[in-house]
Amino acid sequence: MKDEYDLSKMKSRKNPYASKLKKSVTMRLGEDVINYFKNMAEETGVPYQSLINLYLRDCVAQHRKIDISWQPRP
């Protein structure tokens, strides 16, 4: 291995993973939802935020849609 490397002649290129980087967002979640994922995180050893991301990613992959139907008021 060399003591020093000359990087001045290297060509730059874009990060191929840049489109897959995570973006920080703020969300309001119910305590029951947070506790559910935190408990699952303790069981699996996977951080709860990663579990939430994995679940949402699975929803995207499966093209899941939520059924929101409001009950009419009497």
Please name the helix (run of DSSP H) or strand (run of DSSP E) that holds residue 11, with its range, or none. none
Per-residue pLDDT, 33: 97
- SS3 state at 56: helix
Give me the chain's average pLDDT, please: 90
CA 47 – CA 37 distance, rounded (Å): 9
* Strand blocks (E) in 1-74: none
**pLDDT of res. 46:** 96
- The conformation of residue 70, written as its DSSP 8-state character, comes to P
Residue 18 has pLDDT above 80, yes or no: no
